[in-house]
Structure 1
Amino acid sequence: MRVGIFTREYPPLVYGGAGVHVDYLSRELAREIEVEVHCWGPQHSDGSNLHVRGAEPWAEISNGTDGKFKGALEAFSLNLTQIKALEGIDIVHTHTWYVSMAGFLAKKLYGVPFVLTTHSLEPLRAWKAEQLGSGYAMSSWMERTAILDADAVIAVSQGTKADIQKAYPDVDPNRIHVIYNGIDLAEYQKTSETKALTDHGVDPAVPYVLFVGRITRQKGVTHLVDAIRYLPAETQIVLCAGAPDTPEIATELREKVDVARKDHPRIVWIEKMVTRQETIQLYSHARVFCCPSVYEPFGIINLEAMACRAPVVASATGGIKEVVVDDKTGYLVPFDQDPVTSFPRDPEKFAKDLAKRINELLKDPEKCKRFGDAGRQRVEDIFSWTAIAHQTIDLYKRLIEQKKDTK
C-alpha cells in the first residue's frame, strides 16, 4: 500500500500542531506501508518507505499578488501542482484546508479513496478573516468542497466530530472517524537539563508558568497575559510565543506584556519558535503549563506538557476536554463562549478564572507533582503514535477494499 499525504507543514518548516502531527504520523506509518509526503517548501528526500516531495506556489501568484487573499491563492496553486504526477498511489490523505483541494482533485483524476483529517474548521475560526482577508471566503470554500466529498473524515477528537456535524450537517456521520493525535513517548519525557532555560533568561530556581504556542487569536495568549495581574508580583511567567498571525496581534500582545511587566517584572518572552529539545526542557521544569486556547480541536501541546510531567491549566473547550482530566492531570477552566467568534463573552472573568487555578497550583507543589505523574500515565495509556498509526492504516485498508468492491 502507498499513501499520498498532503500537508502544508513538514520538517523543518513546522509551526503548528498539524505539522507536528504529520511529521510523527508519516514516520510511524512508514514502518508498515509506503508513504509519499507532498508539502510546501524545498524538502526532497527518499528513505526506504518514506518519500518527501516539496513544492512552491506559482511564482506569478507569490510575486504578483497583493492583499491578504494571496495566501489562499498560493494554496490553490500548490494543490494543482502537487497532483500532477501521483504514481502508484492507492489512497490520498490531506491535513488542513491548505491542501484539501489536492485530495479532492486526486480522487477525481486518479480514482483513489480520499481521507481528510481536520485539525480545525474554517467556519469556527472567524478571526481568520483578520489574517486571510477576503481569502477567508476561498479557504472556507476549499474546505467545504473537500470535506463534503471525502470518503472518510478523521476528527482528532469527539469534540471535533461534533463540530464537523454542526458546521457541515450534510456530512454522513458514518464517514467521520475519531482518531486522536499522538506523541512520541521516548522523545517527550521529563529531563533534568536546564540549558534552554538559562539560555533564554529563565531562572530555574524560581517556579514559572509556561505558555507555548503561536501568537494567534485561537491560542488565547492575550487572555493569559490579562490573567497575570491576578498572580503574585514575584511570579515568573514564560511566554514561548512566536509566529504572529498578523502585525496587529503582535503589536497588541506587546502592548499587553509591557503593561503587565510594570507590576510583574519576571515575564520572559521568547519571541521565536524554539527547538523541540528546548521546548521539552521548558515543559519539564514548569510549575504550571497554561493552555488558554479559545478554540482547540485537540491541543497537542497539552500532550507534550503532560508527557513531561507538567500539570496543566487549560480552557475547557474542544478536544482539550478529552486530553486533560479535571482535578487529576490539571484543571479545566470553563468560559461562556461566543458561538460565532469562539471568544469568551466575558474576557475579564476568564482571565480571573485562569489566574485562580494557576495560583492554586503555584501554592501546592505536591499537587503539581501528583497531577504531573497522572498526566504522564494518561499519555502513555492512550496517545502513543504506534496505536494511532495502526488505526489509520486500518481505515486506509477498509476504504481501499470498499473502492474495489464498487468497481
Structure 2
Amino acid sequence: MAVPRVAFVTPGSFAIPSPKGSSVERVIEYLAPRLDRRRFEPRIYGRTGRGLSRVGSLGGVRIERFPAADKKAYVRAVGTAMRKFRPTLIQVENRPLYVLRLRRRFPRTKIWLSLQSKTFIGKRYISRSALKRSLAAADRVLVNSHWLRRTVAEMVPEAADKLRVLHLGVDIDRFRPPDDPGSGERRRRLREDRGWTDRTVVLFMGRLIPRKGVHHLLAILPKLAEAHPDVLLVIVGSPFYGSHRDTAYSLRLKRMARAMKRHVLFVPYVPYTKVPDWFLAADIAVVPSKPGEAFGLVNVEAMASGLPVVASRVGGIVEVVEDGETGYLVNPANMEAELLDRIGALIRDPELRSRMGAAGRKRVEEKFTWQRTAEAWMELYERG
C-alpha cells in the first residue's frame, strides 16, 4: 500500500537549506526529514538559491526549487510541479493566500495551512474576507502555540474547529549545554578568544526590529552596569535576515549604546550554523519581545544551551519558559524595572543560573525537540 505523499510548500522567501533562512524555512528543514519514511513520503517545494541545484535533497527528502521574485508565478510553478508528485496532502507554510491559489488547482486534495506567526494573517498582508476564505479552503490549520490558536479563533471563529497546536522544537544535538562532554572546553575557548573570561554575558539573539524590544535592554544597561561592572550585553542580529543593512531603529539602538561601549557589543547577523556557539559562550539569554510573539524559537535554543531565559510574559513564550524554574517572565507593563531586577538576580547568583539552565535543558528534552514535533505531526495526520 502506497504511503501518503506530503508536499511542503515554503513561502519562497529563502532557499532550503540556507544559513540565512527565517524560522519558517527552518521548521520544514528540521521537520520533513524526521517524518517516518515507512509512513510518509515528504517532498519540499521552495525557492532557488545561489549554489543550489534546481532539484536537491535534504536528509533524504527531495527538494524542488523555483524562482520566487514573483510570488504568483512561484505558486503556479510549484502547483505545476506538484501535479507530477500527486500529493495526498499539501501543507502551505505561513502564507494563507497560497491556500486559495492551490485549492483552485487541487480541489480534491487535502490542504493544511501551517502558521508560525500572526504576521501574515494581519491586515497589512491579507484582508479579513480573504483570510476567512483561505481558512475555509484549508482542511486543517496548524499553529505553534495555544496563544496563536486563540488569536486565530478570535479573528475567524468559524475556523476554530480546524485549529491544532503543534509546538516547535530545537536540534538538541547542535545546541548543547556547557556541562556536556566537550562543551565546557569549547565554551572556555570561545570566551577566551572573545575576551569574555571575566565578564557575565547577557545575550540577545534576533532581529533588530522594535517588537523584539532591544531598546529596553539598552535603556536599563547603565543601571545594570553600575551594579554589575563586569556585565556585557551582546546583541547578535540585524534588521533583516541574511543582511547587515541598518534601519532607523537599529541606528537608534547604536546611538543608545555609545555611552556604554565597554558594556555592549553589536554582532551583525550571523549564519544559523554559528548560532549555537553564541549561546554556549553566554551566561543569560534575554527575549524582551512585545505582545504578539507566537512562540520564539530563540527561547528553546537558549534553554537547550543550558541558559536561563529572561523573557516577556507575552504570546506563546509563556508556554515555553517556566517562570522561576527555567528563567523569568517579565510583564510588558513594567518591562524595564523587571528586566533590571531579574537579570540582576541572575548575575549575582551563578548557582541560580546553573540550576535554571539545567531545568531549561531538561524541559526542552522532554517537550521541545524536532523529533517530538515530527511525531506530533504524524499523529495529527493519522488521527484524521
Question: Aligned to 1:225, which of 189, 193, 218?
Answer: 218
Q: Deviations over 1:144-170 (max 9, x none)?
A: 542332111111111111111122222
Distance (whole Å) between structure 1 residues aligned to residue 42 and residue 269 of structure 2:
31
Distance (whole Å) between structure 1 residues aligned to residue 214 and residue 21 of structure 2:
16
SS in structure 2 at match of 1:324: coil
Question: Aligned to 1:369, which of 354, 361, 364?
Answer: 354
Does structure 1 residue 21 correspond to structure 2 residue 27?
A: yes
Distance (whole Å) between structure 2 residues aligned to residue 96 and residue 117 of structure 1:
6
SS in structure 1 at match of 2:225: coil
Residues 291 and 313 in structure 1, CA contact (< 8 A), matched pair in contact too: yes
1:71 corresponds in structure 2 to: none
Distance (whole Å) between structure 1 residues aligned to residue 272 and residue 58 of structure 2:
23
Does structure 1 residue 158 correspond to structure 2 residue 164?
A: no
Does structure 1 residue 182 correspond to structure 2 residue 169?
A: yes
Q: Deviations over 1:271-301 (max 9, x none)?
A: 112343x321221232210011112111111
SS in structure 1 at match of 2:117: coil
Residues 135 and 141 in structure 2, CA contact (< 8 A), matched pair in contact too: yes
Distance (whole Å) between structure 2 residues aligned to residue 81 and residue 202 of structure 1:
50
Q: Deviations over 1:122-146 (max 9, x none)?
A: 37767xxxxxxxxx34487765542
Question: Aligned to 1:85, which of 81, 87, 91?
Answer: 81
SS in structure 2 at match of 1:214: coil
Identity %: 24
Distance (whole Å) between structure 2 residues aligned to residue 81 and residue 101 of structure 1:
15
Residues 310 and 372 in structure 1, CA contact (< 8 A), matched pair in contact too: yes
Distance (whole Å) between structure 2 residues aligned to residue 221 and residue 118 of structure 1:
25
Q: Quick one: structure 1 residues 39 and 124, their matched pair in 2 at CA, closer, same or farther if it must change by over 3 Å?
A: closer
2:119 corresponds in structure 1 to: 122
**What displacement does 1:27 show?**
1.4
Distance (whole Å) between structure 2 residues aligned to residue 113 and residue 398 of structure 1:
14
Residues 83 and 102 in structure 1, CA contact (< 8 A), matched pair in contact too: no
Does structure 1 residue 35 correspond to structure 2 residue 42?
A: yes
Give the CA RMSD over aligned residues.
2.6
Corresponding residue pairs, total: 358
SS in structure 2 at match of 1:231: helix
Q: Quick one: structure 1 residues 46 and 124, their matched pair in 2 at CA, closer, same or farther if it must change by over 3 Å?
A: closer
**What displacement does 1:217 show?**
2.9
Distance (whole Å) between structure 2 residues aligned to residue 288 and residue 303 of structure 1:
13
Question: Aligned to 1:52, which of 54, 63, 74?
Answer: 63
Q: Which runs of 5+ in 1 are unaligned?
A: 63-73, 127-135, 337-348, 400-407
2:338 corresponds in structure 1 to: 353
TM value normalised by structure 1: 0.80
**What displacement does 1:47 show?**
6.0
Does structure 1 residue 309 correspond to structure 2 residue 320?
A: no
TM value normalised by structure 2: 0.84
Distance (whole Å) between structure 2 residues aligned to residue 369 and residue 4 of structure 1:
42
Q: Quick one: structure 1 residues 280 and 49, their matched pair in 2 at CA, closer, same or farther if it must change by over 3 Å?
A: closer
- The letter for the 1-side match of 2:157 is P
Q: Deviations over 1:148-197 (max 9, x none)?
A: 321111111111111111222221x2211111001222222122314555
Residues 229 and 264 in structure 1, CA contact (< 8 A), matched pair in contact too: no
Distance (whole Å) between structure 2 residues aligned to residue 202 and residue 258 of structure 1:
24
Question: Aligned to 1:325, which of 303, 322, 328?
Answer: 322
Residues 315 and 333 in structure 1, CA contact (< 8 A), matched pair in contact too: yes
- The letter for the 1-side match of 2:164 is H
Distance (whole Å) between structure 2 residues aligned to residue 181 and residue 225 of structure 1:
30
Q: Deviations over 1:182-241 (max 9, x none)?
A: 122222212231455566x45243111001111223322233222323311432010011
Q: What does 1:2-401 correspond to in 2, within 5 Å? A: 2-8=5-11, 9=14, 10-12=16-18, 14-29=20-35, 31-32=37-38, 33-42=40-49, 43=52, 44-46=55-57, 49-57=60-68, 62=69, 74-86=70-82, 87-97=85-95, 100-110=96-106, 111-122=108-119, 136-138=124-126, 143-171=131-159, 173-190=160-177, 191-192=183-184, 193-194=186-187, 201=194, 203-233=196-226, 234=229, 235-244=231-240, 250-276=247-273, 278-294=274-290, 295-336=292-333, 349-399=334-384
Greater shift in the superposed pair: 29-38 or 306-315: 29-38
SS in structure 1 at match of 2:237: strand
Residues 39 and 52 in structure 1, CA contact (< 8 A), matched pair in contact too: yes
Residues 316 and 334 in structure 1, CA contact (< 8 A), matched pair in contact too: yes
SS in structure 1 at match of 2:157: coil
Q: Which runs of 5+ in 2 are unaligned?
A: 178-182
- The letter for the 1-side match of 2:201 is Y
Q: Quick one: structure 1 residues 30 and 333, their matched pair in 2 at CA, closer, same or farther if it must change by over 3 Å?
A: same
**What displacement does 1:332 show?**
0.2
Greater shift in the superposed pair: 230-239 or 39-48: 39-48
